[in-house]
């Protein structure tokens, strides 16, 4: 497993943007005929980091990629489909059993130009390779919390052929929210102070800046520190 973080400045509602790159090498066998192989990927981050972009690198050995249904679940419980039995449904090539061919060595990313579902070859190995567009957009995760347990879910929907998940890598860029910008206008000024004081007086959870369930001097102190630090 590896972890690296890079921080650069950005503007408006975020104070920093970070890149998280984490890999696991489970070498898990994929059960035949519908049972799921689930690969957990744990990510630690600060509580105010939310997802900007996500991509996933996958190395997977399988003798018939048209059997595979692959999903990614975020810590918030959102699930997207990365690959859904390529080559199906089919009225011609590659036939009624989906795309044949061996293995996947690819990156699922929204910036690719080739849909993963459209890649099929009887000669190439790996049959799905390079940058490919997932069946559902990675942007679905935008704005969710990054910290927690992610899961790659792989189903082999046929009783024939077999496979193994060799390596999974998640690359996530995250925005660090500007917590003191309570009116979300991109500036820190009197209006944010006014919004905080109003929320504080009404025991609004957005004023509980130290997340202890109480509304007291410590929340005021944390808010003022965030306001002074700026965005």
In this structure, the chain runs to a length of 231
The pair of three-digit structure tokens given for residue 107, joined into one six-digit string = 């990156």
Kindly report whether the global pTM for this prediction surpasses the value 0.95. no
- pLDDT tens for the chain, 231 residues: list them: 333 332 222 222 333 445 678 999 998 899 888 788 999 999 987 667 889 999 999 999 998 888 999 999 999 999 999 999 887 665 555 556 778 888 999 999 999 999 998 888 767 889 999 999 999 999 999 989 898 999 999 999 888 788 999 999 999 998 877 778 888 777 888 998 999 999 999 999 889 988 889 999 999 998 898 888 776
Q: Are 172 and 18 in contact (CB under 8 A)?
A: no
* 163-210 pLDDT per residue, tens: 999 999 999 998 877 778 888 777 888 998 999 999 999 999 889 988
């Amino acid at each position: 497993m590896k972890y690296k973080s890079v921080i650069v400045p950005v503007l408006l509602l975020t104070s920093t943007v970070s890149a998280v790159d984490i890999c696991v090498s489970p070498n898990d066998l994929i059960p035949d005929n519908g049972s799921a192989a689930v690969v957990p990927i744990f990510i630690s981050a600060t509580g105010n980091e939310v997802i900007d972009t996500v991509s996933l690198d996958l190395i997977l050995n399988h003798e018939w990629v048209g059997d595979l249904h692959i999903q990614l679940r975020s810590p918030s419980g959102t699930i997207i489909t990365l690959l859904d039995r390529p080559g199906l449904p089919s009225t011609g090539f590659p036939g009624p059993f989906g795309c044949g061919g061996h293995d996947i060595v690819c990156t699922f990313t929204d910036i690719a130009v080739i849909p993963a579902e459209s890649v099929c070859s009887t000669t190439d190995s790996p049959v799905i390779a390079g940058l490919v567009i997932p069946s559902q957009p990675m942007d679905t995760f935008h704005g969710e919390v990054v910290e927690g347990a992610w899961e790659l879910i792989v189903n082999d929907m046929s009783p024939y052929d077999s496979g193994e998940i060799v390596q999974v890598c998640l690359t996530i860029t995250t925005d660090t929210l500007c917590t003191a910008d309570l009116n979300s206008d991109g500036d820190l000024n009197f209006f944010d102070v006014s919004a905080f004081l109003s929320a504080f007086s009404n025991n609004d959870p957005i004023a509980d800046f130290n997340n202890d369930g109480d509304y007291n001097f410590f929340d005021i102190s944390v808010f003022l520190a965030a306001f002074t630090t700026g965005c």
